[in-house]
Structure 1
Amino acid sequence: MNGRVAISRFPKDDEFLDSSVDVTAVGVDVLADLVGIPPAELVGDVPLTQEHAERVRQLTGITLDLETYDYFLDPSSG
């Protein structure tokens, strides 16, 4: 998988994207390891949970507000 990887944020109970932050610089291998998926299989939106929150903050500086938003690791080829 080559291309852009973002963390996308959606308000809970809403299907409209609130924000998307490019985290490609962290590295596909590191992000795939974070969610427990082989890099070659990292496709589609992968939900980020409380289990991922602290490591996401360490890697990206993004604090996940899981009470208000749903977050997804969003790999794309674009």
Structure 2
Amino acid sequence: MRLAISRFPKDGEFLDSSVDVTAVGLDVLADLVGIAPDELIGDVPLTEEHAERVRQLTGITLDLETYDYLLEPEGDGSG
């Protein structure tokens, strides 16, 4: 399963950027958002609560005043 953090402008619907964070690991990212790895099947909003840990794990700084961020699992679900 590929995992990405996608960024959308708060005033828009279209994707601004997406960064592959698969290398961080499914278990680590699922734990970050409080979801069991086998239940991480849909987009999960990232909030201020997640911001510092996301930065530590990925180097991505979340600008939550300007953008909305989603952790997006991509795969066929057969994993």
Question: What TM-score, normalized by structure 2, do the two folds share?
Answer: 0.94
Q: Which residue of 2 aligns with 1:24?
A: 22
Following the alignment from structure 1 to structure 2, what is the Cα–Cα distance between the partners of residues 44 and 11?
A: 20
How far the C-alpha of 1:13 sits from its partner, in A, is 2.5
SS of 1:59's partner is helix
Q: Which residue of 2 aligns with 1:12?
A: 10
Question: What TM-score, normalized by structure 1, do the two folds share?
Answer: 0.95
Instruction: Note the residue ranges of structure 2 that are not aligned, 5 or more in a row.
Output: none
Segments of 4+ moved more than 6 angstroms:
none
Query: Number of paired residues?
Result: 76
Amino acid at match of 1:39: P
Cα deviations across residues 1-26 of structure 1 (Å, max 9, x unaligned)? Answer: xx100000000031100000000000
SS of 2:68's partner is strand
Q: Which residue of 2 aligns with 1:64?
A: 62
SS of 1:64's partner is coil
How far the C-alpha of 1:54 sits from its partner, in A, is 0.1
Cα deviations across residues 44-78 of structure 1 (Å, max 9, x unaligned)? Answer: 11000000000000000000000000000000107
Instruction: Note the residue ranges of structure 1 that are not aligned, 5 or more in a row.
Output: none
RMSD, aligned CA: 0.9
Following the alignment from structure 1 to structure 2, what is the Cα–Cα distance between the partners of residues 68 and 43?
A: 26
How far the C-alpha of 1:43 sits from its partner, in A, is 1.1
